[in-house]
Amino acid sequence: MGASARSRRYAAGMSPARPARSFDEWVAEAGKITREPTPDDVSITLDGTRLDSKEKVLAFLADLEVERRARTEEVDARI
């Protein structure tokens, strides 16, 4: 398929090309896109737990630390 056929095939509905930006430009633009948080803006873990309180976050972090230490000990035991 030639370039002209490809452009005809994909042209409809495609986003227009955007100029390349440096990382600093990208960060500056991303910083402008803000909104106030809503009551349901919470982190959700892979198992579906909603981290919607300080206590839940601290418990989640404690679980991560236990898992991290167990895996560290497992790796150290193999060395």
What confidence tens digit (pLDDT) does each residue in 29-68 have?
877 777 777 878 889 999 999 999 999 999 999 999 999 9
Pairwise CA distance, residues 49 & 35, whole Å: 24
Residue 47's identity, in one-letter code, is: D
Q: Which pLDDT tens digit goes with each residue over 7-37? A: 555 566 667 777 788 888 888 887 777 777 7
Contact 53, 45 (CB under 8 A): no
Q: Global pTM?
A: 0.50
Question: Six-digit token pair at 76?
Answer: 């150290």
Delimit the domains of the chain by residue range.
45-79
